[in-house]
Amino acid sequence: MMIAIPDVLDAATLAQVRGIIDPAPWIDGNATSGHQSALAKRNLQLAEGSDAARAAGNIILDALGRNPLFIAAALPLKVYPPLFNSYGDGQGFDTHVDSAVRILSGSDFRIRSDLSATLFLEEPDAYDGGELTIEGTFGTQQVKLPAGHMIVYPASSLHHVTPVTRGRRIASFFWIQSMVRSEADRSALFALDSSVQALGATLGQDNADVIRLTGVYHNLLRRWAEM
């Protein structure tokens, strides 16, 4: 399941994040690459664990915790501390797949990367190229969202970032370990939850069928969740 999540950051919060990361030192993006990615990646990145990355990342984590669509779609158990990258003229990231397990350097924090996320931090008309291109069951999707919007997609997907030919593409990226490992089960739960919410808005949350379907949702989540 691939889902766009609008307005993760509002204009004021986006400006706050950019005010932190823009003046910070940027390094070669291959600082966090595995062997395969190092052959494909051409970009810059904030140093993982730097003061700027931690401060801006905490703002994003707080915003995610308040976003009901993200929570419903990802059912997050763990979120890797957000990283930040920048693609300038001629820079891109060739086709690759994200590592199955991500380990935070210098700590015992690790996650299984069920989902990948890209949070766009630059307006799409400020740069040419830089589309996140994701290969899926139903073909290839190119994604270039407004600043503050985010795309979440299976971390197992082949994907790439097309070369930037004008301006600078700035984004945050990170991974999520879901409480529900199976992509098919997550998709079914999200569809059920969306339907229950829509019915509740129409019929009322105290409607007997809405209550019954809410129980079905929670019983399935109880069966499939790993904690």
CATH number of the domain to which 211 belongs: 4.10.860
Q: What is the pLDDT of residues 10-43, one digit of tens each?
A: 999 999 999 999 999 999 987 665 555 666 789 9
**192 and 174 in one domain?**
no
| Dihedral (Cα; 191, 69, 76, 24), 10-degree rounding | 150
**CA-closest candidate to residue 143, choices 160, 156, 126, 157:** 160
CA distance 170 to 88: 9
Kindly tell me if the per-residue pLDDT of 118 is higher than 60. Answer: yes
**Count of domains in the chain?**
2
Q: Do both 18 and 127 map to the same domain?
A: yes
Whether residues 107 and 219 fall in one domain: no
Q: Single out the residue of 195, 196, 129 nearest to residue 165, CA to CA.
A: 129
> What local confidence, expressed as pLDDT, does residue 37 receive?
60
Range of the domain at 218: 183-224
| Boundary-marking domain end, from 178, 198, 215 | 178
Question: Which one-letter DSSP state was computed for residue 212?
Answer: H
pLDDT at position 138 is 82
Percent of the chain scoring above 70 in pLDDT: 96
Residues in the chain, how many? 227
pLDDT tens sequence across 53-105 = 999 999 999 999 999 999 999 999 999 999 999 999 999 999 999 999 999 98
Q: Are residues 25 and 66 in the same domain?
A: yes
Mark whether 187 and 152 lie in a shared domain.
no
- Are both 162 and 189 inside the same structural domain? no
First to last CA, the chain: 22
